[in-house]
Structure 1
Amino acid sequence: MSAQSVLVIDDERDIRELLTITLGRMDLQVEAVGTVAEARRALGERSYDLCFTDMRLPDGTGHEVIELIAATHPDMPVAMITAYGNVDAAVNALKAGAFDFVSKPVDIQMLRRLVRTALQLAEERKTGGGTAAATGAAGRLVGDSPAMQQVRGTITKLARNQAPVYIAGESGVGKELVARLIHEQGPRASGPFVPVNCGAIPSELMESEFFGHKKGSFTGAGADKEGLFQAAHGGTLFLDEVAELPLHMQVKLLRAIQEKAVRPIGAREEVPVDVRILSATHKDLGRLVEQGQFRQDLFYRINVIELRVPPLRERRGDVPQLAGFILRSLAAKSGGVPGRLRPDAQQALEEYDFPGNVRELENILERAMAMCDGDTIGAPDLMLPQRPLRQAEPVNAAHAAMHAPQPGAPVAAQPTVPHAGPGSGVPLDDYISNLERTAIIKALEESRYNKTAAAKKLGITFRALRYKLKKLGID
C-alpha cells in the first residue's frame, strides 16, 4: 500500500523544509514547491491526499490554488498557511473552501492533528466511508420539503471543512440537531460533541467553565478543572444561544478562537486546543452587532458560514411526516402502540402556525396522546391554542348567553371575575391552567380524592386526569 502524499506550496524555504521533515516523520510522501506555476504543474501530473498552500506567493495567491483544486481535485482537502495573527486571511480562506488553516510560526503538534483529521476526511471521500452513518444521522432531520432538502445538502457540504458555522433560526426549529449532524458527518465524528447553553452559565463562572482553572486559583477551586474547550478537544464545541454571552466573555472567546489556545484561570501558559466552533441563537445577531451588544469582530469569526434553519410554518408539507415520526418515538419510549391522527387532527396541525416550531409539535402530540381515548387523536385532543380573547369577550358560549344584553337595554358592566382573566396581563395559558386547577381540585375533594371518580365527574379519561395532575403539579 503506497504512502499518502502531501503537496506543500510556499515560497519560504524554511517553511518548506519544516513541513517536509515533519510530514515525512508521519510516513507521508511530500512534494514541496514555491510558486503557483509549479503547483499547477504538480497538480496536473498527479493527485495528492492533502495540500498546504501559503496565502501569498510570488506569482499569485493561495486562493488561486484553492480554486484550482476545487475544480480539478474536489476531494482533496486544502489547508491555508497564514501569517501569525492574520485571521482575516484565514477566514477568507475558509470561505473560499479551505479545509482549515495553520498560522506561522507553525505549531508542530497542531499541524500533526490537522494532518490526521484532513487525511481521515480524504480517505472517507475516496472510499465512501461514513456514508451509512451520515445517512442515518440525517434521517433524524425529518422532512422532504425543498427547504429541508437544501438544509441537508448544506450540512453535507459544511461537514467537509473546519469553518466555523453560525446556525440561525427561531426557537424550536432544531438548531442543536443540525449542529450534531454537521459534527457526525465530518472527520471529527469520533471526537466529542460538547453543547453548551451560553445563557445558562452565570456570568461570574463563565471563564472557569469555558477555559478551566488550576487548583487554588480562587476561593473554592479545590482541584484542577477542565474547561469546555479542553473537553471538546479533537471534536466540536457548540455554542447555543451565543448572543447571551456578556461582552467580557466575547473578548476572551474571540482570542481563544483566533489563537486556538486557552489559558485556564491560574495557569501560567496557554493550552493548545483543536476545536471546531459551531454556534447558534434565535436572536438577530446582526442587529445586536449594530446595537453594540455583540462584538463585530467575534461575529465575523463565528459567522464564516451561515446556515438558516426554516421555521415549521415555512414547510407545512413536512408536518404529517414529522408528526408520524414523533408519535413513533413516543410509542418507543412508552412501549405502547404509535398514535394515529384523524383527518381533522392532521388538517388542524397543517393549518396551525407553530410559533414554537418542532419543539411545540412534540409537546402538542405528547399531550394529545395523554388526552385521547385509545390511540386515535382527534382535533379536540390537540388543544391547539386559540387567539387570546379580548377582556370584554366572554370566556364561553354559556357565559355569553347569560350576559348578552337584551334588545334596547343599556349595556351593563362586565361582572367581576374572581381570577385574573385573559387580557388583564395574565397570559391565556396561565388563566386556563388556573381554571383547570380549581376544577380538578374541587372534583378530587368531592370524590374524596378517588381519581377514577374525579375523572368521571370531570368528564375526562383517567389517563387525561393523570396527565393534567402531572402538568399542573397537583400532588
Structure 2
Amino acid sequence: MTAETVDRRNKTKVADVLVVDDEDDIRELIELSLLRMGLATDAAASVAEARAKLAAGHYRMCLTDMRLGDGEGLEVVEYITEHCIDTPVAVITAHGSMDNAVAALKAGAFDYLSKPVSLEQLRALVKSALEVHKPQVKPEKAAANLTGESAAMAQVRSLIERLSRSQAPVYISGESGSGKERAARLIHSLGPRAEKPFVGVNCGAIPENLMESEFFGYRKGAFTGAESDRDGFFQAANGGTLFLDEVADLPLTMQVKLLRAIQEKRVRRIGDTQEIAVDVRIVSATHQNLKERVEQGRFRQDLFYRLNVIELKMPALRDRRDDIPVLANSILERLSAEAGMRPPHLTKRAHEALLAYSFPGNVRELENILERALALVLGDEIDIEDLHLDPGESEGLGSAPIDIGAAVGSTALQDYLDNVERQAIVEALGKTSGNRTAAARVLGVTFRSLRYRMERLGMKGEKNDKSDSGDEV
C-alpha cells in the first residue's frame, strides 16, 4: 500500500482514491481491486458523505456511482469540478445509460465505467487518471504545432490545455486546412496518454467493404485473403488516442458498429467469438456540419452526441490575420531547413498581399503557397509575383496598394479591409442594378467568390434578375 498523500492546501491526510457507492458489495470489490494496485482507499455511501470527505481532505482521484441514496453522482462530479479541480473524477453508470455518462463527461468527469464493472477496465482507468496530475514535461514541438498569438489561437490553446486533462471525447470542427489534426495531436501529447500511440484515421479514405476489418481487425481465415491475425485501429491505439478525421464520411452501417465500440469499450475482430477490452480516447473531426448531416438523416444522432461531448472550434486563417506574418516566417524557416537552404525573406508587398488574401484553404494553403514560392524564387527574397495568389480570392479589390499604416492608424486592419471590400461590392452592385453575376464580372471575381464575400460581410442582397441564378453558382 502506498503512503497516504498530503494536500497542498494543508488539508488533513487522506487516501489515494475516494470510492462513492451506496452498494456495499460493489464498493468493497472496487476497494479490494485498488488495494491490489497499491492504492489506499476511502469510502462514502452518499452524496453528503462524499462532499464532507472532499471538503476535509485531498484525494488523487474519486470514483463515484451515478445513483446514490440521497442524490446523483453527477452532484459529486459538479462539486469536485467547482471545489477540487485537481482531483480527477470518474463515474460508474448502469448498463446502457449512456446519457448519464455523457452528462457526467460534460460536467467535467474524467471518464466513465459501465456496469457490470470490468476490473481490467477499472485498472486501466485508474492508472490513466493518476497520470493526469503528475508533473509532465510538455514537448517543445507540441507548442509549435499551433503557431500564432492572436486571441483566437490563445483561446484554442487554453481549451486544449484543459482538454488534455480529461478522457472525454472531443469533436474538432473547422474548415479544411485549419489545423484540426494538429490540435488533436496536441491534446494527445499534453495528456497522460502522450507515451502511448496516436492513431489517425481518414474515415473518407477507407472503402466501405473494408471498414470493419480496418477498425476492429480480423482472425486468420475469417475471409478469403485473411492469411494471419491482424489488429484494427482500436487495438493499435490501445492505451492512446484514436483520431477519426472526416468522421462525417462514415457510412451509417459503420456508425452503428463504431457507436457500440465506443460505448462498450470492447471490440470483436471479424471471425472471432470473443470481445476484447480496449482503452482508447476518441477525438474526431470534420470540415462538414455534423448537425446538418444529423438533420438530413446521414449521421446518427446518438453517435453525434457521443462524439460531441466537448467541441473545439478551429478558427479560419482569415479570422486570425494577425498570425499570418509569424506563420509565414515559421513555415519558411521550416521549409528552408528541410531543403538545406537559407530562408528567403518576404518583401513588404508580399506581406501585404498575404494579409489581404482570403485563404479559402487556410494554413494548409499558406504552406502550399510558400512551398511553391520557395521552389521557384531565384534570389533571397519573395515578392508578390512569386506568391502566385488567386486574384479571385484577394480581399484588396482593385490594383491600388493597401496603405497598411493608415489602416492600423485609424482602425483594425481586418475592419479596414472589410470596409474596402464592402464599398467595392456596393458600387459594383449599383452599376449592375443589383445583378450579382454581372457585379462579379465587374469586380473580376467568380460569382461563387462574390457570394462567399457577401455572406461573410453580412450583405444579404436580393437576386434581381434571371441571370443571377445562372450556372456559375
With the length of structure 2 as denominator, give the TM-score of the two structures.
0.80
Matched, 1:31 2:42: yes
Pick aligned residue for 2:136 from 122, 129, 136: 129
- Give the conservation status (yes or no) of the 8 Å contact 2:81–2:107: no
- The corresponding residue for 2:286 is 281
- The corresponding residue for 1:212 is 217
- The corresponding residue for 2:200 is 195
Task: Give the CA deviation at 1:136.
Answer: 4.2
Taking the aligned partners of 1:171 and 1:53, their CA distance within structure 2 comes to 40
Equivalent residues in 2 for 1:424-463, closer than 5 Å: none
Taking the aligned partners of 2:358 and 2:166, their CA distance within structure 1 comes to 35
Pick aligned residue for 1:351 from 332, 356, 370: 356
Taking the aligned partners of 2:202 and 2:175, their CA distance within structure 1 comes to 15
Matched, 1:178 2:179: no
CA RMSD of aligned residues (A): 1.4
Pick aligned residue for 1:360 from 342, 365, 388: 365
Task: Give the CA deviation at 1:59.
Answer: 1.4
Task: Give the CA deviation at 1:41.
Answer: 1.9
- Give the conservation status (yes or no) of the 8 Å contact 2:346–2:381: yes
5+ residue gaps, structure 1: 389-421, 424-475
Taking the aligned partners of 1:244 and 1:140, their CA distance within structure 2 comes to 26
Taking the aligned partners of 2:164 and 2:280, their CA distance within structure 1 comes to 14
- Give the conservation status (yes or no) of the 8 Å contact 2:91–2:109: yes
Taking the aligned partners of 2:127 and 2:380, their CA distance within structure 1 comes to 52
- The corresponding residue for 1:319 is 324
Task: Give the CA deviation at 1:153.
Answer: 0.4
Task: Give the CA deviation at 1:338.
Answer: 1.1
Task: Give the CA deviation at 1:332.
Answer: 1.1
Equivalent residues in 2 for 1:314-393, closer than 5 Å: 314-387=319-392
Identity %: 60
Name the count of aligned residue pairs: 384
Taking the aligned partners of 2:37 and 2:95, their CA distance within structure 1 comes to 25
Tell me the alpha carbon deviations over residues 117-144 of structure 1, each in whole angstroms, 9 at most, x when there is no partner. Answer: 111113x2xxx323x42x6412220011
- The corresponding residue for 1:62 is 73
Task: Give the CA deviation at 1:269.
Answer: 1.1
Task: Give the CA deviation at 1:3.
Answer: 4.4
One-letter identity of the residue aligned with 1:269: Q
Taking the aligned partners of 2:376 and 2:119, their CA distance within structure 1 comes to 61
Task: Give the CA deviation at 1:387.
Answer: 2.1
Pick aligned residue for 2:117 from 82, 103, 106: 106
SS of alignment partner, residue 387 of structure 1: helix
Tell me the alpha carbon deviations over residues 102-125 of structure 1, each in whole angstroms, 9 at most, x when there is no partner. Answer: 111110000001010111113x2x
5+ residue gaps, structure 2: 6-15, 394-444, 447-473
SS of alignment partner, residue 391 of structure 2: coil
Tell me the alpha carbon deviations over residues 155-205 of structure 1, each in whole angstroms, 9 at most, x when there is no partner. Answer: 011111111111001111110000000000111111100000001111100
Taking the aligned partners of 1:287 and 1:71, their CA distance within structure 2 comes to 34
Matched, 1:303 2:308: yes
- Give the conservation status (yes or no) of the 8 Å contact 1:77–1:98: yes
Matched, 1:225 2:230: yes
With the length of structure 1 as denominator, give the TM-score of the two structures.
0.79
Taking the aligned partners of 1:349 and 1:108, their CA distance within structure 2 comes to 56
One-letter identity of the residue aligned with 2:315: P
One-letter identity of the residue aligned with 1:183: H
SS of alignment partner, residue 102 of structure 1: strand
Taking the aligned partners of 1:333 and 1:136, their CA distance within structure 2 comes to 16
Task: Give the CA deviation at 1:63.
Answer: 1.7
Taking the aligned partners of 1:277 and 1:337, their CA distance within structure 2 comes to 41
Task: Give the CA deviation at 1:369.
Answer: 1.2
Pick aligned residue for 2:173 from 168, 171, 175: 168
Indicate the structure (1 or 2) with the bigger Cα radius of gyration: 1
- The corresponding residue for 2:88 is 77
SS of alignment partner, residue 385 of structure 2: helix
